[in-house]
Amino acid sequence: MLDTLAIRTRRTTASRLATRDEAPLEFGKLFSDHMFVVDYRDGEWQDAQIMPFGDMPVSPANSALHYGQAIFEGMKAYPTDGGGVALFRPLDNWARLNASAERMCMPAIPEELFMQGLKELVRLDAPWVPSVPGGALYIRPFMFATDGMLGVRPSDTYRFAVITCPVDLYYTKPLRVRFEQKYVRSAEGGAGFAKNAGNYGAAMYPTKLAQEEGYNQLIWTDASEHQYVEESGTMNIAFVIDGKLVTPALSTSILDGITRRSVLQLAHDLGVPVEERRVSSREIIAALEAGTLHEAFGVGTAATIAPIATIGYEGHDYELPAAAPDALSKRIGAALGAIRTGQAPDPHGWVVPVGE
């Protein structure tokens, strides 16, 4: 196996760090100076290196381009009160990346390789972590097939890489969403639980239609009945109904979100009843009409906690009450932020400092 202690580093000779503060940080448009890259061939990972961020050459017959063998993760590094930088739940992202890799017939990444490459990269580009409130260094680990061959079969070679970008808040105001009851993001037995590129490509057209109608995102429903809630755009989704935190139970068509796990744990810590179960669109609308739906919000790495203001259903928009100062989403969001930045204890061991 690759000696993960021997990661070669080639620093950039032309840092772009000064560009970070020249304009508002649009999510995913400005990238840090370096990237971590390692290749899989002859049955093993080899040639791990950190190099200047830049284009990668691929064959026109690249099998990821033709047959979709591409997966990714999303995670963040946060500035801490002591002046350092820390990762949030990186081992959970590593495990989920490998679950996606297994589903897509791709090789697993060893834990040591993932963690060491990640830490060395973030240490090197730590000056890119923004100091604005809510800012973070977004981290995108990804893997794609690199065979230059046309043939519907798993590739023999792969590249794993990590790139980073400084980001501000993903959403700046409460969201307008609607239930999707025609198109399907994923079906039971499919690859919806994996972060493979095809899931997101297939979601773009229905999302575009909803955005043309004035919504920010969709609430995806199940493939068979189009009634049971699954996810909302790039996020898991949660509801506060009659004082309980209710969220769809995980399945092979729902992503096991790291932020989702964290939100459910913090709700338990706060003594809030949590229900992971099937949730129908009819139940949500009935609760809205009865006044028992107090909050709805998306949860995800990019968005963190994204309050929902409007839910569209069968051609009608339903307005949610404005979140009170003591709303559960606000309390959990504040608790998450305090743990990530070292302002509060980390009882669950979620925060991993990257070191000097």
The boundaries of the domain holding residue 235 are 175-340
Task: Please tell me the predicted confidence (pLDDT) of residue 235.
Answer: 94
| Length in residues, the chain | 356
Task: Please tell me the predicted confidence (pLDDT) of residue 262.
Answer: 98
The amino acid sitting at 87 is: L
Task: Please tell me the predicted confidence (pLDDT) of residue 5.
Answer: 63
Q: Specify whether 74 is located in the same domain as 209.
A: no
Distance CA 331, CA 134 (A): 15
Distance CA 12, CA 65 (A): 29
More confident residue, 72 or 356: 72
> Residue 43 above 90 pLDDT?
yes
Domain assignment present for 3 = no
Q: Specify whether 205 is located in the same domain as 139.
A: no
Last residue of a domain, one of 106, 141, 167: 167
Task: Please tell me the predicted confidence (pLDDT) of residue 355.
Answer: 81
Q: Specify whether 64 is located in the same domain as 126.
A: yes
Distance CA 333, CA 344 (A): 13
CB atoms within 10 A of CB 270: 13
Of 167-171, 219-223, 265-269, least confident by mean pLDDT is: 167-171
**HEC-encoded secondary structure of the chain:** CCCCCCCEECCCCCCCHHHHHCCCCCCCCCCCCEEEEEEEECCEEEEEEEEECCCCCCCCCEHHHHHCCEEECCEEEEECCCCCEEEECHHHHHHHHHHHHHHCCCCCCCHHHHHHHHHHHHHHCHHHCCCCCCCEEEEEEEEEECCECCCCCCCCCEEEEEEEEEECCCCCCCEEEEEECCCCCCCCCCCCCCCEHHHHHHHHHHHHHHHHCCCCEEEEECCCCCCEEEEECCEEEEEEECCEEEEECCCCCCCCCHHHHHHHHHHHHCCCCEEEECCEHHHHHHHHHHCCEEEEEEEECCCEEEEEEEEEECCEEEECCCCCCCCHHHHHHHHHHHHHCCCCCCCCCCEEECCC
Task: Please tell me the predicted confidence (pLDDT) of residue 252.
Answer: 93
Q: Which of the four pLDDT bands, split at 50, 70 and 90, describes residue 356?
A: low
Q: Specify whether 159 is located in the same domain as 187.
A: no
Percentage of the chain beyond pLDDT 70 is 98
User: Please, are residues 258 and 266 in contact by the beta-carbon 8 Å criterion?
Assistant: no
Q: Specify whether 108 is located in the same domain as 189.
A: no
Region for 262 from its dihedrals, namely left if φ exceeds 0, alpha if ψ lies in -120 to 50, beta otherwise: alpha
Q: Specify whether 195 is located in the same domain as 160.
A: no
> Residue 22 above 80 pLDDT?
no
Q: Specify whether 20 is located in the same domain as 62.
A: yes
Q: Specify whether 118 is located in the same domain as 15.
A: yes
Give the up-direction half-sphere exposure of residue 183: CA atoms within 13 A in the CB hemisphere: 17
> Residue 1 above 60 pLDDT?
no
The residues near 166 (Cβ < 8 Å, ≥ 6 apart) are 20, 25, 30, 32, 128, 129, 130, 135, 136, 137, 138
Q: Specify whether 145 is located in the same domain as 189.
A: no
Distance CA 233, CA 99 (A): 21
On the 0-12 / 13-18 / 19+ scale of CB atoms within 10 A, 160 is: buried
What number is the average pLDDT over the span 181-202? 92
Q: pLDDT digits over 141-191, tens only?
A: 999 999 999 999 999 999 999 999 999 888 888 999 999 999 999 999 999
Specify the CATH number for the domain of residue 54: 3.30.470.10
Total number of domains in the chain:
2
What number is the average pLDDT over the span 179-206? 93
Q: Specify whether 252 is located in the same domain as 187.
A: yes
Task: Please tell me the predicted confidence (pLDDT) of residue 174.
Answer: 92
Last residue of a domain, one of 167, 185, 208: 167
Of 23-27, 60-64, 163-167, 221-225, least confident by mean pLDDT is: 23-27
Task: Please tell me the predicted confidence (pLDDT) of residue 57.
Answer: 95
Q: pLDDT digits over 91-150, tens only?
A: 999 999 999 999 999 999 999 999 999 999 999 999 999 988 888 999 999 999 999 999
> Residue 26 above 60 pLDDT?
yes
Percentage of the chain beyond pLDDT 90 is 87
User: What values do phi and psi take at 301, rounded to 5?
Assistant: -60, -50
Q: Is the dihedral of CA 17, 23, 24, 28 positive or negative?
A: negative
Distance CA 130, CA 135 (A): 5
Task: Please tell me the predicted confidence (pLDDT) of residue 4.
Answer: 45
Distance CA 268, CA 261 (A): 11
Task: Please tell me the predicted confidence (pLDDT) of residue 11.
Answer: 97
User: Please, are residues 308 and 269 in contact by the beta-carbon 8 Å criterion?
Assistant: no
What is the token pair recorded at 310? 């409007």
Domain assignment present for 64 = yes
Q: What is the mean pLDDT of the chain?
A: 94
> Residue 212 above 90 pLDDT?
yes
What number is the average pLDDT over the span 24-31? 89
> Residue 2 above 60 pLDDT?
no
Domain assignment present for 282 = yes
Q: pLDDT digits over 292-311, tens only?
A: 999 999 999 988 899 999 99
Instruction: Considering only the C-alpha atoms of the chain, give the largest distance between any 2 of them, rounded to a whole number of Å.
Output: 62
User: Please, are residues 64 and 142 in contact by the beta-carbon 8 Å criterion?
Assistant: no
User: Please, are residues 147 and 63 in contact by the beta-carbon 8 Å criterion?
Assistant: yes
